[in-house]
Amino acid sequence: MIKRIAPIFALLLGLMGMLSTANAVRHAPAFAEGLRIEGLAGSTRTENRAAMYTRSDYLMQTGAGFVNADAYSFATIEAPDEIASPEVVAERARRGAELLTEAVSRDPSNAHTWFVYAQALAATGRPEAAFAALGRSRALSPTMPRLAYLRSWVLWGLLQGAEFLPMEASRLSGYREIYAAERDLARTATPEEHLPPPLAAAATIPSRAPVPATAEADPFGAIPATPALPADADPEATASDLHLLALDLAVADPGAAAIAFARAAVRGHERSAYYLGQLYETADGVPYNLHLARAWYAAASMPEEEQRLEEVAEPATAAAPTPPRLLSAARTGDGAVELVWTSDASGGASFLVEVFAEDGSPVASEELSLSALRLDIPSDPLAWRVTALQGDVRAPSDLQTIPAAALQ
């Protein structure tokens, strides 16, 4: 019996191997011309030839070329004694960040990719997201001196102007401690004269004053309207359409991308939920909030989600929640309402969403841990608010009206 079925098993294994090889070839830029991207020097090939066989490595190598253009000298760009114009530098950084955003989404466990992504974020004016990306790189590879050396230089550059960022003093102090640790590790393999200089003593930076809880608003009074965002979303957009729009917006307008991801996620798009978790973990377009990062990772129900939940520890509960910030309220043609809000790291661990009719009577009320909600409401809602909850402490947002236009 075994002798009869052994050839069948061998044939099946052979077929599986052929299918696996065909799939690898189909997704490798070395073989799939449609996956190739024109890099900084005008070529679609990478300096590291091995990267041609892995899509994520290919994106990382090509994106790194744009981000680090000043370190190269090609006849197709600037001569050694020339300096690119500010417009050219900005466009290169934008293109590099776009490629690296996709690279980290395809391979979130690559410490070097997260480091180069941090460079791109810093180059495109997103320092807090760059700090978070460097933290992810360090968590993935905490003991490699060479990578610590590279990260220390980026950290040093970010910390030069960090005291002017709207950042809590405790977080800034933590970044300074990380810089010192990275520099110490780099010193084990790099001469002192090649390291970034030690930081000067930290200046006294006052913490931001806590935002006071908003008083109860009169539903009959004149209240502001919440915009329906993203502004350029098609009125008939599907969840997949919103996801693709978010990817397009990710570099130029990460805040709008976060809203598009949230709206796609509440319609069941799992990849959007996962990417939104990444945005909250790296403070890209939204506040740094590990509560929401974990909540959106859990909502993704994807293989990568389990790994992220293991690596992103549940943060300590803040002393008191702060009022959420309402971002978008959009009606759909089928009578549903899509609501998106955000909260900073000191926000509550859960949220109470309330929707009111035109006469001020409550239409819907739901408590959840996410930062977006789709409600099927038969009546015509007028206003909404979100309250951050933490034990017996409540921090409500102001009431805002819901636009009348469908979806937009």
> In this predicted model, what pLDDT tens digit does every residue of 374-394 receive, in sequence order?
988 766 667 899 999 887 788
Same domain, 108 and 161: no
- Name every residue whose Cβ is closer than 8 Å to that of residue 326 and which is 6 or more positions away in sequence: 226, 339, 340, 341, 384, 385, 386, 397, 398, 400
**Do 155 and 117 share a structural domain?**
no
Are residues 353 and 293 part of one domain? yes
Indicate whether 274 and 181 sit together in one domain.
no
Q: Are residues 28 and 91 in the same domain?
A: yes
**Residue 132 belongs to some domain of the structure:** no
pLDDT at 50: 65
Kindly state whether residue 286 falls inside one of the protein's structural domains.
yes
Q: Is the peptide bond before 230 cis (omega within 30 degrees of 0)?
A: yes
Tokens of 382: 């007028």
Asked if 47 and 68 count as a contact pair (C-beta separation under 8 A), the reply is no
Regions of the chain where pLDDT drops below 50: 22, 24, 73-75, 202-221, 406-408
Residue 218 lies in a domain: no
DSSP 314: P
User: Do residue 181 and residue 102 come from a single domain?
Assistant: no
| Same-domain status, 298 and 384 | yes
Collapsing DSSP to helix, strand or coil, 158 comes out as helix
258 within 8 A of 286, measured Cβ to Cβ: yes
Q: How high is the pLDDT of residue 386?
A: 94
Tally the domains of the chain: 3
The sign one gets for the Cα dihedral 341, 347, 349, 354 is negative
Q: For residue 113, is it within any domain?
A: yes
According to the model, what pLDDT value does residue 203 have?
Answer: 42
Q: How many helices (H) and strands (E) does the chain have?
A: 12, 8
Q: What is the reported pLDDT for 364?
A: 86
Sign of CA dihedral 370, 376, 377, 380: positive
The whole model's pTM is what? 0.56
pLDDT tens, position by position, 67-93: 887 655 444 555 655 666 778 888 888
Predicted pLDDT of residue 218: 44
Same domain? For 39 and 185 the reply is no
Residue 233 in domain: no
φ and ψ at 153, to 5 degrees?
-70, -40
Do 118 and 148 lie in one domain? The reply is no
Query: 241: buried, middle or exposed (CB in 10 Å: 19+, 13-18, 0-12)?
Result: middle
Note whether 254 and 389 are same-domain residues: yes
Tell me, what's the pLDDT at 328? 93
The SS3 assignment for 359 reads coil
**Look-up of token digits 């977006």:** 372
Query: Which structural domain, as residue segments, surrounds residue 33?
Result: 23-127
Q: What is the pLDDT of residue 209?
A: 37
User: Which pLDDT score is estimated for 207?
Assistant: 39
d(CA 205, CA 32): 53
User: Does residue 214 lie within any of the structural domains?
Assistant: no
